[in-house]
Amino acid sequence: MQQAKNLDSDQLQEAFQSLARVSQELDSSYRDLQARMTTLSAELAAARSARLQELADKERLLERLASLMAMLPGGVLLVDADGGVRDANPEAMALFGEPLLGQLWSEVRARVDNGAGRHLTIHSRELEQQSETLVLVIDTTEVASLQAQLGREQRLVALGEMAARLAHQIRTPLSSTTLYLAQLRRNDLAQAQRERICGRLADRLAHMEGLIESMLGFVRDAPPLRETLYLQDVLQEFEATVQPGLQLAGGTMAVTPVDRSLVLNGDRSALVGALANLAVNAAEAGGDGVHIDVWAGALSHGRLLLRVRDNGPGIAAELRERVFDPFFTTRATGTGLGLAVVARTVNSHGGDIRVGNSPEGGAEFLIELPMMTGSA
């Protein structure tokens, strides 16, 4: 009996000890949980504070962007995937007027196309993630007006400069003409002297006429006559025009024959005149015994090359960049407009012209022109 009581007492004590251990473990777990809750609460408060700060920063950024959009000198529109204007800044409202929001962008843009006297530049960029398009509209009416005014002033300045240079060029032959006319009034002048003076007078008048014609040819801004041309015909007419005078001056010229596969679109008279100017320039620079060589051929499927060479003194390197400038000449009797007219003719035909010296030392002009394809 006593043994049974001792056994119950031991079991009860053991149960109390187990209960104490569980209580201690629960207390420890509670304290750990409480500490964890404190940490999580602090982290949550910090995250909430950071989020609030981020939202405040974004709100300030949005305010700045809104202010910037309102201050922009151009109109900004947001066009949705359906082509409707979803949003717009005040400048866009002023440019296009009401209604604007909710309207189709194509209809809004039609107001620009129909606006008289207005010049608007429109740029757009797609926002792929939002399936929207951002449109920037800049009113360039004032800029276009200023550019037109500047162009007129530049043309007036150029015209004034040309007039001044032309007056300077004409002054010398005009003075000589006056002197010759004064001599012709003498009653005691012999007939031979009178004829010689008349010849010189005719030369001076022809020189002045050439100056004026060169001037008109340079400033003439009319587009060249466009017609289908065979280069063979152009070269034949050029040779027939230049060869007689060149032979009288003691010069020679060789033109490489070409077939009728080289076809271009342009002004026949202008091209013949440009080649003639190059030949005359070579003859005047080369003097007696000058030889001019003209070669033509295809560079590619759509470009042809004309090469004009002479055996004269060539062109100094420091002068090559200026030979096509109006009124630039190294000769006392030169007009300075011949090569300028050549360059303008080539450019008006969509071509390029370069100048250099040939391997033999004479001047060399290379003219590239667009060639018509599909013709024979």
pTM listed for this prediction: 0.47
Bond before 99 cis per omega within 30 degrees: yes
- pLDDT tens-digit readout, 239-270: 888 887 788 778 889 998 999 989 998 888 88
> SS in 3 state form for the chain?
CHHHHHHHHHHHHHHHHHHHHHHHHHHHHHHHHHHHHHHHHHHHHHHHHHHHHHHHHHHHHHHHHHHHHHHCCCEEEEECCCCEEEEECHHHHHHHCCCCCCCEHHHHHHHHHCCCCCCEEEEEEEECCCCEEEEEEEECHHHHHHHHHHHHHHHHHHHHHHHHHHHHHHHHHHHHHHHHHHHHCCCCCCHHHHHHHHHHHHHHHHHHHHHHHHHHHHHCCCCCCCEEEEHHHHHHHHHHHHHHHHHHCCCEEEECCCCCCCEEEECHHHHHHHHHHHHHHHHHHHCCCCEEEEEEEECCCCEEEEEEEECCCCCCHHHCCCCCCCCCCCCCCCCCCHHHHHHHHHHHCCCEEEEEECCCCCEEEEEEEECCCCCC
Q: How far is the C-alpha of 173 from the C-alpha of 155, rounded, in Å?
A: 27
Q: 48-52, 121-125, 185-189, 335-339: which has the minimum mean pLDDT? A: 335-339
Asked whether the predicted pLDDT for residue 204 surpasses 90, the reply is no
- pLDDT tens-digit readout, 168-179: 556 656 777 777
Asked whether the predicted pLDDT for residue 127 surpasses 70, the reply is yes
Question: What's the token pair of residue 219?
Answer: 């400033």
pLDDT value, residue 359? 81
- Tell me the sheet residues that pair with 26: none
Q: How far is the C-alpha of 373 from the C-alpha of 298, rounded, in Å?
A: 11
pLDDT value, residue 375? 46
Asked whether the predicted pLDDT for residue 65 surpasses 80, the reply is no
Q: How far is CA 238 from the centre of its chain?
A: 34
- pLDDT tens-digit readout, 96-117: 888 888 888 888 887 765 555 6
pLDDT value, residue 174? 73
pLDDT value, residue 376? 42
pLDDT value, residue 367? 93
pLDDT value, residue 366? 93
Q: How far is the C-alpha of 183 from the C-alpha of 334, rounded, in Å?
A: 26
- pLDDT tens-digit readout, 33-62: 888 888 888 888 888 888 888 887 777 766
